[in-house]
Each structure stands twice: as structure tokens, then as C-alpha cells.
Amino acid sequence: MKAKLVKRFEDQIAELERELKTELPKEIQKARELGDLRENAEYKAAKERQEFVNARIAMLKKRAGEIALMNVDKLPRDKAGLGSSVTLLESTGERMEIQLVMPEDADVERGFISTASPIGRAIVNREVGDEVTVTVPNGSRTFELVKLVTIHDS
């Protein structure tokens, strides 16, 4: 799990560094050729993207370093935690399969739920058979945790 997370960050960093070193300089050069930089929207957009990419690379490198230092053995073996795959059964009968991830990896469409989100916080440290109630903007939802696979099991 830890190795997969670090690899995913390293892949993102490599992609962003390629953009920073090859694509953005070309865009900036093209924009410079258009003339006056004070009123050049393309130039401003490329420079803003360059700043964003630099900040994102720094954040990813920091996060990868933190993950590398993380002691996975301290994550619970029988309770939901970072990296756990969880199957929830809603009181309506609907089944939901999710994986608990770090905030920057959250992707609801793919079932990756942040441990910092309301549902993620409600699930962390829960066991199979536990009932989980999550407050959402339009009320609350109740789930039963019916299946749990921790990072130690996968």
C-alpha cells in the first residue's frame, strides 16, 4: 500500500515535471512572440500554470516523503483505516464499496473516499457489523459496515 501510494505520487510528479520543463516553456515562448506581455492573456495563463505546477510538485514531494516515513504497522488490522476497502450496506438496501484514501487521492466516481471527509471520518476505526451514521447536507444516512479489507490483508 505504502509503495503504491509513493509510486502514484512519483508518477504524478514526473508528469508535472515533464509539463513544467517541456510544454510550459513552449507555451511561454509562443506567448512572448505575440508581443506586449502586459496585455498578453496567453502569457499570463502560462505563467500562472507554471506557478501552480511548481506548487503541486512541492506538495506531492512533501506528501510522498511523509508517506515513506509512515509506519503502516500502526494502522489497525481489524478496523477501517487508511487504505482499507469497505463495503457498506445503506438502510435503503443500497450497497456501496469504497476505499479510504488520503484527501488528494479522493475520487468519489471511482469510490476513493478521503479519510478526512464526513463519511471517511465516520468509518475510520469501525469494524464489520458496526452501524455508521453520516450527516450529509440533506440529512443523515445510516450504513452497516458489512465487509472490511485492511491494507494488511491486501
Residues of the domain holding 61: 2-70
Give yes or no: residues 139 and 85 share one domain. Answer: yes
Structure pTM? 0.61
Closest CA relative to residue 114, chosen from 103, 125, 126, 104 = 103
DSSP letter at 138? Answer: T
3-state secondary structure of 114: strand
Per-residue pLDDT of the chain (154 residues; tens, 9 = 90+): 566 667 777 888 999 999 999 999 998 888 888 777 777 888 888 899 999 999 999 988 888 787 777 666 666 678 898 888 999 999 889 999 999 988 878 888 999 999 899 899 999 999 999 999 988 788 888 999 999 988 776 5
DSSP code for 112: E
* Shared-domain flag, residues 88 and 47: no
> What is the CATH number for 47?
1.10.287.180
What is residue 2's predicted lDDT score, i.e. its pLDDT? Answer: 60
- Answer with the one of 21, 46, 70 that is the final residue of a domain: 70
* Long-range contacts of the stretch 95-99 (C-beta < 8 A, 24+): 95/146, 96/143, 98/123
Q: How many domains does the chain have?
A: 2
Shared domain check, 92 and 36: no
- 114 in the same domain as 51: no
**Alpha-carbon span 60 to 16, nearest angstrom:** 10
Q: What does the pLDDT read at residue 154? A: 57
